[in-house]
Amino acid sequence: MEWLRDAHAMEEQAEQMLESTCDRLENYPELRERLDAHRAVSRRHADLVRQCIERRGGSRSAIKDAAGKLMAFAQGASGLFVGDEVVKAMLATSTLEQMKISSYEILKVTARTVGDAETERTCEESLREEQQMADWLEDNLEPITQTYLQREEIPGATAKH
């Protein structure tokens, strides 16, 4: 149950972080579109995990959810003060995706072990979608970094976001 609560808090954190990041990405439309789409995926995953928690007779952890959202707010707000926000956003999002992938792997094995086929299916679906996002980020890390570096070279251009 605690691991399900952790996964729920992570999805809530991801949704908040992606929302605050998307609001500022003006010069990287493909990244903005992809992060915005994944924000909706994170919202759906949070709902699915919440359903697993409730089906198993538990409840969400308000403290974990609040802490995750606070961390996401701090991550998003920190972008206001750095010149390389887009690169740091890619790094933070990639890191969070890897944490979510590992979390869903652990939850999938645990659900299978305790005989909870519904939670196992939910985790397998979420795992697949998180891996797709992680793969996209990995594939696009170089081109987005190159775009950032090129924009830095243009006098008066805004490379930040």
pLDDT-based confidence at residue 62 (cuts at 50, 70, 90): low
Residues recorded for the chain: 161
Residue with tokens 């409730």: 54
108-116 contacts: CB < 8 A, separation 24 or more?
110/3, 116/52, 116/56
Answer for the pair 8, 122: CB distance below 8 angstroms, yes or no.
no
- Rounded Cα distance between 38 and 43, Å, is 9
Structural domain containing residue 120: 2-153
Mean pLDDT (the chain) is: 84
Answer for the pair 131, 105: CB distance below 8 angstroms, yes or no.
no
Residue 158 belongs to a domain = no
Residue 143 belongs to a domain = yes
| 69 vs 94, more confident | 94
Residue 159 belongs to a domain = no
Residue 161 belongs to a domain = no
In the predicted model, is pLDDT for residue 135 greater than 70? Answer: yes
Note the pLDDT tens digit of each residue in 70-125. Answer: 454 445 544 444 467 888 889 989 999 999 999 999 999 999 999 999 999 999 99
What's the whole-model pTM score?
0.82
Residue 44 belongs to a domain = yes
Residue with tokens 């010149």: 83
Residue 132 belongs to a domain = yes
Overall domain count for the chain: 1
Residue 91 amino acid letter: L
Residue 160 belongs to a domain = no
Residue with tokens 């403290």: 63
Residue 97 belongs to a domain = yes
CATH number of the structural domain spanning residue 52: 1.20.1260.10
Answer for the pair 77, 20: CB distance below 8 angstroms, yes or no.
yes
Q: Which residues contact 143 (CB under 8 A, 6 or more apart)?
A: none
